[in-house]
Structure 1
């Protein structure tokens, strides 16, 4: 039990101010002397023991009638470890511009509101903490030590399974963790959202896996980087949020992972920079099975690593010429509409000049062949009323698929493509028929054939004779009534018969495939 006589002068000032909620400000007013980075040099006149703070928060000095007790302290050096693990804290804690000698332990505690702003601390442990108000860590500098002797990661800020009724405010904070995990907040519930803006910097991985963020995650202009050459800088696997805002210069020097994340409103990377791992051997964005309503991917520049959207589902996609790297995983990616950013204006991608060529080139960035991206793109064009564009996409799909087949199948594929465009250009068969009819008419019209039976059959007609050769089903009575003494013309007749069968077979095969798909 602390005795009042044992307290130092600044501790007595804090003890006396606590029942009335008054602030104790130990700052000198001289900027050079008040810099928190130099707090380790502050002397006894600015030092408060952590045990004194803990004692007051746990009821060591009762509140005055008619006043609300609150611990408010600014510009102090706090010696010892502030240990409030498992505590029931009935009063607000507000520490401003303080320098902590050791870390802060709030694990399992219950509190009204906690604010540690503009301060420096070697880590804050707040796993399983319950905060009825806000958790405010604005402008603070949190640093973990190196990896522990047991080779466990040491986290600068731990919010694992914490629940905050208000917002978690990290605006302007700098969180550094040589042990790789800057923020570990798996299972965090922050009803008011998480704010990491106004110059927020994290050196190490920010982990929010399985977090529930009804108020969203706001990281406009934030900088995330990894101390190693490879690594994930932001992990939101299976998180549920109303919005994820990575805009206005948000920079990730590592992988951003949104695997299985569900966003009920906007996911925006407008003006963001996704550099990917520094060694260039990892993805910039992994959003496998991600779900969002509005997905804005209009980046400031092209990502350096791959973008993985396999199995993702969005209602509206916004992109630009800077959105997509050389490799984009699109298998299973589903979208309802696409808009492009041109000179700062958002326009519908459908109906634009070279729209199909641009989108097919986008799909071709996926490694290997997969039919789903083509089917999805064709479905989008069809829903927009552009059936011709949809057929062009499906034709591009068949041409891509042809590259994966064995030689004989590729030859047949080239034949289908040249004759009927795999059934998506059946008019090509008419072009071939007209050209071959013209060839036969001109060739046969300059010579006289011999009748099979003298005096029988209709008179020779070059056009009808040629059509009779080209049409394999039925007959017009010319092919069986005449023959040629010239070997060249006889072989031409045989070739026209063969071409007729090829054209008919290709037309049937292509149209059947088209009807089955549509």
Structure 2
């Protein structure tokens, strides 16, 4: 138990100020002397033992009637480890511009608002902590010390399964754990959201796996400068949030992974830079099975690694010329509408040959053939009233599929493509019929056939004879009434019969395929 006589001068000042919630400011008022980076050189006049802070927070000098007790301290060197693990803290804590010799342990504690602002701390352990208020670590430098007792990884800030009734504010802070976990907040519940803007920098993986963030995760302008052990800089697997804002200059030098995340409103990377892991060994964005209403991927420049959207579902997709890398995985990706940014202006994606060609090229950036991305794109164009564009996309799907078939099937596919466009261009059959009819009429008009039975049947008509050869069903009476002694014309007749059967078979197969798909 601490006695008042044992306290140093700054500790007595803090002790006396605590019951009334007054702030003790030990700063010298000189910028060069007050820089937190040099806090290790601060002498006894600016040093407060962590055990004194802990004792006050646990009620060593209770409040006075008519005043609200709180611990408020600025510009201090805090010696020893501030250990409040499992404690019931009834008073708010506010520390500004302080230099900690050792880390802060709040694991399993129940506390009021905690603010460690503009300070240097060798790690904060707050796993399973309940904070009735806010957790404010703005402008602080948090450096990984030793491995957390709750997991084997070295972590600079641990918020595993913590519950914060207010917001978690990391704005302007720098969290350093190179190659490890800078922030480990799996299962975190932050009612007021998490704020990592205003120049936030993390060297190491930032993890919010399974977190529940009704107030959203706001990382506008943040820099995730170094990946964790698996090349990931931000992990939100199965997290639930209203908003994920990674816009306004957000930069990630590793994989951003949102696998299975559910964003009930806006998921935005507007103006972001997704560099992917160093060396290009890994994807830039993994958002497989992610759900969001508004998904904005209008990046500042193309991602260096792949974008994985397999099984994702969004209502609105926003993209621009920088959104897509060379490899995009879209199998199972479902979207309600597409809006593109052109010359800084947002608009509904339009149809037309050029626009469809760009979208087909987008779909073909997948690693292998998959029908679903084509069908999804065609469905969207059809809903938008662009039926011709939808047919172009489905035709492109069949052409892509043909590359995966065996040689015989490829030949048949080429025939379907040339004759009827796989059923999506039935007018091609009419073009072929007209061309072959013209060819036969001109060729047969130069010769004189021999009647099968002299004096019987209709007179020879080159046009009708050609149509009779091309139409395999029924008959016009010309094909059976005349034959050729000229070998060239007789072979032409055989070829026209064969072309007629092939053309009819292709038309039936193509139209049947189209009717079955639609």
TM-score between the two structures when normalised by the length of structure 2: 0.98
- Alpha-carbon deviations, 1:401-447, whole Å to 9, x = none? 00000000001110110000000000000000000000010111111
- Decide whether aligned partners of structure 1 residues 148 and 346 sit closer, same or farther in structure 2, where only a CA change above 3 A counts: closer
Matched, 1:504 2:501: no
Equivalent residue pairs, number: 518
Q: CA deviation at 1:228?
A: 6.8
- Decide whether aligned partners of structure 1 residues 128 and 100 sit closer, same or farther in structure 2, where only a CA change above 3 A counts: same
| Structure 2 SS opposite 1:242 | strand
| Structure 1 SS opposite 2:278 | coil
Q: CA deviation at 1:83?
A: 0.4
CA distance in 2, matches of 1:107, 1:236: 22
Alignment of 1:56-75 (within 5 A): 56-75=56-75
Number of the residue aligned with 1:192: 192
Alignment of 1:78-89 (within 5 A): 78-89=78-89
**Structure 1 stretch displaced more, 221-230 or 177-186:** 221-230
| Structure 2 SS opposite 1:346 | strand
Number of the residue aligned with 1:446: 446
Q: CA deviation at 1:230?
A: 5.9
CA distance in 2, matches of 1:121, 1:496: 87
| Structure 2 SS opposite 1:354 | helix
CA distance in 1, matches of 2:300, 2:114: 36
Number of the residue aligned with 1:458: 458
Number of the residue aligned with 1:44: 44
Matched, 1:330 2:330: yes
- Alpha-carbon deviations, 1:450-481, whole Å to 9, x = none? 11001110111111000000000000000000
Gaps of at least 5 residues in structure 1 are: none
Do 2:164 and 2:190's aligned partners in 1 also have CA atoms closer than 8 Å? yes
Do 1:382 and 1:390's aligned partners in 2 also have CA atoms closer than 8 Å? yes
CA distance in 1, matches of 2:146, 2:134: 29
Number of the residue aligned with 2:303: 303
CA distance in 1, matches of 2:138, 2:419: 68
Q: CA deviation at 1:355?
A: 1.1
- Decide whether aligned partners of structure 1 residues 151 and 73 sit closer, same or farther in structure 2, where only a CA change above 3 A counts: closer
Runs of 4+ in 1 over 4 A off after TM superposition: 146-151, 227-230
Number of the residue aligned with 2:262: 262
Number of the residue aligned with 1:247: 247
Number of the residue aligned with 2:115: 115
Do 1:266 and 1:293's aligned partners in 2 also have CA atoms closer than 8 Å? yes
Do 1:145 and 1:179's aligned partners in 2 also have CA atoms closer than 8 Å? no
| Structure 1 SS opposite 2:464 | helix
Alignment of 1:281-320 (within 5 A): 281-320=281-320
Do 1:153 and 1:179's aligned partners in 2 also have CA atoms closer than 8 Å? no
| Structure 2 SS opposite 1:380 | helix
| Structure 2 SS opposite 1:509 | helix
Matched, 1:400 2:403: no
Taking only aligned residues, the RMSD between alpha carbons, in angstroms, comes to: 1.4
Matched, 1:225 2:205: no
| Structure 1 SS opposite 2:338 | strand
| Structure 2 SS opposite 1:317 | strand
CA distance in 1, matches of 2:157, 2:353: 51
Alignment of 1:89-104 (within 5 A): 89-104=89-104
Q: CA deviation at 1:145?
A: 2.8
Do 2:227 and 2:277's aligned partners in 1 also have CA atoms closer than 8 Å? no
- Alpha-carbon deviations, 1:377-408, whole Å to 9, x = none? 00000000111000000000000000000000
| Structure 2 SS opposite 1:494 | helix
**Structure 1 stretch displaced more, 342-351 or 313-322:** 342-351
| Structure 2 SS opposite 1:112 | strand
| Structure 2 SS opposite 1:405 | coil
CA distance in 1, matches of 2:150, 2:353: 61
Number of the residue aligned with 1:170: 170
CA distance in 2, matches of 1:149, 1:305: 35
Q: CA deviation at 1:273?
A: 0.2
Number of the residue aligned with 1:434: 434
Q: CA deviation at 1:152?
A: 2.8
Number of the residue aligned with 1:11: 11
TM-score between the two structures when normalised by the length of structure 1: 0.98
CA distance in 1, matches of 2:144, 2:50: 19
- Decide whether aligned partners of structure 1 residues 42 and 176 sit closer, same or farther in structure 2, where only a CA change above 3 A counts: same
Q: CA deviation at 1:225?
A: 2.2
Q: CA deviation at 1:153?
A: 1.5
